[in-house]
Structure 1
């Protein structure tokens, strides 16, 4: 067991008792430090913003870059109370909304449902806030952490409330499809670059991006509806907004579906660009013959 992991988990458990304004204040300071000190990662963020928002001024992109590091730090520290604070604290700090949807049907219905959850910084808050309010069997896919102790902590945190199953990417699609067909929820985050073998190339803000076609594939195989979920970091905690179902999804064309997914994701990002996961090297895998962008 890693000593650093043990100390880190102990710190997060202790932090769960601290008032939210103090946690957010600590996150603000830590985020500003990271923006200054984590030069390689800042360059990734700045390059992503340059590629995706060429029409924005340099000053505006720098502001988004600074803010995104603050949200990185705040959302990470918030996992302290999401995964360790009493249930009533988590309920009070996570608000579920959806003006154009039947929230009760989403959380307690029996129709197979995929929640398209893009990588906004509140993604773990949304997963916790929704599963703690839902009796459905919920499934999510995750990437194993290098440290076994840290991996166990993350899994326990994400499985803390509700009937939740975390599956590793190597577990295959059968348990995912089976859970969907039984009327379950799949909390899916397909908007990252997981390499050439798992991806197809479709535009993302006008740049060819390696993108997993899993949303289209799981919706078709699981006979599931697709509903987007976006989460905002707000002063009181998190706002989890359930958006209307995509009526025209999936089609018989996974490439077209995946391109449409990215196109709709762009509009969600444009509404709050600082809260998207720009620290990820979204364009690290390039089409054959194209030079690296980082």
Structure 2
């Protein structure tokens, strides 16, 4: 039975891999529309992910009407499923194809010959993958990633995300290696808006809800002397591709107060989510870990 299970997983993986390669050959507008349509279809099916989206939206945007929750949840589902379909071109598309799809607007000089140590602080919007791939086309970068449960998928993701030269660093051994990477002058790209439990985290508000928030960026910046530069990649309307915005480095960050640093990070994220709430990964259980004594919200 174990052998049959492994064979089934390999067949499923081979099918998904072939599908991604086919999607990479399609015009972007076709695959994007296909992803949106698939998201609309899957939204009609009851699922745990759909419940998570609705729970997150109700927590973060209270007092909205049922019609507004439904509209926003559907739009979010379409974007999320579409982002999975667009992995085809992001993971297997050519340099030229990705370069044409992603425009970059930066408040810092990306061509600087000897830039200071830099931590690029990203967030889980649906187009984060596209922006990260675009940056790695022309700039040396190291990127932190969370290993996936499937070894086959994990190896594929690591290989394809690093195919333009990005150095992939697993969160399992990230702290020492990341610090060494920053000290030798290579910028590091990571996202810190995930709930990884109580360790190295603090509870600070996210849209007024206590959220278990990682302090890793502030601690890494303090240890390395790196500047912290936020970036956000958004999906453009009418299937025009993506826009990556690189902001100015955060002033006076980190401070001497991890609580304040975490609060500033969440406040910045709130501003960006408020601009495009349908594009944030509400399918994640952002409030999975609760303060001691509080029940699960999911």
How does the TM-score come out when normalised to structure 2? Answer: 0.93
5 Å-filtered alignment, 1:75-86, equals: 75-86=83-94
Post-superposition offset of 1:16: 0.6
User: Secondary structure of the equivalent of 1:21?
Assistant: helix
Name the CA distance, whole Å, in 1 between partners of 2:230 and 2:155.
28
Whether 1:155 and 2:155 are equivalent positions in the alignment is no
Query: For the Cα contact (< 8 Å) 1:110–1:184, is it kept in 2?
Result: no
User: Secondary structure of the equivalent of 1:29?
Assistant: helix
5 Å-filtered alignment, 1:4-43, equals: 4-43=12-51
5 Å-filtered alignment, 1:196-207, equals: 196-207=198-209
Candidates 62, 74, 82, aligned match of 1:74: 82
Query: For the Cα contact (< 8 Å) 2:119–2:187, is it kept in 1?
Result: yes
* Deviations 1:148-181 (CA, angstroms, capped at 9, x unpaired): 221111001110113x111111114111011111
The alignment of Structure 1 onto Structure 2 pairs a total of residues equal to: 288
How does the TM-score come out when normalised to structure 1? Answer: 0.94
Structure 1 residues 109 and 35, CA gap change in structure 2 (3 angstroms): farther
Candidates 164, 167, 174, aligned match of 1:165: 167
Name the CA distance, whole Å, in 2 between partners of 1:204 and 1:240.
23
Post-superposition offset of 1:102: 2.4
User: Secondary structure of the equivalent of 1:5?
Assistant: helix
Paired residue for 1:58?
Answer: 66
Name the CA distance, whole Å, in 2 between partners of 1:145 and 1:119.
16
Candidates 131, 135, 155, aligned match of 2:136: 131
Whether 1:189 and 2:198 are equivalent positions in the alignment is no
Aligned residues: CA RMSD? 1.4
